[in-house]
Amino acid sequence: MSTAGDAAPRAAVAGGAPAPPRILVTPWRRALPTALGERTVLDTLDPAYTDRVAEAGGLALVVPRPPTPDAAMGAAVLDLADGLLLTGGGDVDPAAYGARDEGDTADVDPAADAWELLLVREAAARRLPTLAICRGAQVLAVAFGGRLAQRLPPDAAHRDLGGLEPDDILAERHPVDLLRGSAVAEALVAERLQVNTIHHQAIADPGALAVSATAAGGLIEALEPAGAVAGWPVVGVQWHPEKMAEPVQRALFARLVAAARLSRA
């Protein structure tokens, strides 16, 4: 939560206009080729995430994980933020939800898991507005006792993306059914819509959270708070709304920024 010392800078920008709410955004660490070597470790992020935040009226703060994440560091980082955006990335280490690796996980990073689990639990304790996307939604589930399916079940009817060109992957769609009255349905003003298909694992058990959207075979596509965290303005979606040209998907970012603005006030 904000301290008295930073209240004034947040209150207004030049000309007296209200300052945009600050949305903390998590990047993903990858080894990529650069002039310094074939595997240069970089913190990376698709600019679509921060573009959507900016379009919704927010100020994105991209914050990589510290070398030694701990609760105090997580609290200090969230003190800077009015909202949290958990982005996509590699697979969650099965050890994080008490499972063994069945051979289908890729690009795991236990340090990233620990940091993001810490952030999301602290965000829940503060009731900090949160949007969790793809891996972020999976982290959200694991944070509250859920577990993941390390491969998509056949009845999910998701197309195998192996061998497809990038444009074909981005264009691929599948239908999801949204629970009437849920936050995700109200934000998107829909009970059924087409979303993209850019994941090879899934949420098998939502833990203490509620399921608010499903695909074929009952595959979990969205999560919302329930029980002890009821009232927390959070939505987790398995698809990537930031990568979709359909205008309706912008509503998820608008909801996050609007809730962050209220939270700050």
Dump the DSSP string for 127-179: T--EEEETHHHHHHHHHTT-EEESS--GGG-PPP-TT--HHHHHH-EEEEEEP
Q: What is the pLDDT of residue 13?
A: 59
Label residue 261 by pLDDT band (50, 70, 90): very high
pLDDT beyond 50 at 66: yes
* CA distances in angstroms from 140 to 14, 65, 205, 239, 258, listed in the order given: 37, 17, 11, 14, 21
Q: Report the run of H or E that residue 21 belongs to, with start and end.
A: none
1: pLDDT strictly greater than 70: no
Closest CA to 53 of 28, 26, 73: 26
Could you give the CA distance from residue 28 to residue 190 in angstroms, rounded to a whole number?
31
Q: Specify the pLDDT at position 15.
A: 63
Indicate the angle between helix axes 71-78 and 110-126, nearest 10 degrees.
60
Give me the sheet containing 234-237, strands edge to edge: 59-62, 22-25, 83-86, 130-133, 234-237, 220-224, 210-214, 173-178, 192-196
pLDDT for residue 153: 84
Residue 225: the pLDDT is: 96
pLDDT of residue 162: 78
Which residue would you say has higher pLDDT here, 9 or 131?
Answer: 131
* Ranges of each domain in the chain: 4-264
pLDDT digits (tens, 9 = 90+) for 122-143: 999 999 999 999 999 999 999 9
Give the pLDDT confidence score for residue 179 in this predicted structure: 98
Residues labelled catalytic: 134, 240, 242
102's tokens: 């069945």
CA distance 143 to 128: 15
State residue 167's pLDDT score: 92
- Of residues 11 and 213, the one with the higher pLDDT is 213
Q: 181-192 pLDDT, tens per residue?
A: 999 999 999 999
Residue 215 near residue 157 (C-beta atoms within 8 A): yes
155: alpha, beta or left, given left = phi > 0 and alpha = psi -120 to 50? alpha
Give 179's contacts (C-beta < 8 A, 6+ positions apart).
185, 211, 212, 213
Average pLDDT of every residue of the chain: 92
Distances (CA, A) of 94 to 25, 45, 111, 199, 205: 24, 23, 13, 16, 13
Percentage of the chain exceeding pLDDT 90: 85
pLDDT surpasses 80 at 59: yes
Q: Which residues contact 113 (CB under 8 A, 6 or more apart)?
A: 92, 93, 96, 139, 142
Note whether 91 and 106 are within 8 A (CB).
yes
pLDDT score, position 7:
47
4-264 CATH, one of 3.40.50.280, 3.40.50.880, 3.40.640.10, 3.40.50.740: 3.40.50.880
CA distance 212 to 224: 6
C-alpha distance across the termini of the chain, in Å: 11
pLDDT at 249 over 80: yes
Question: Nearest 5°: phi and psi at 263?
Answer: -60, -45
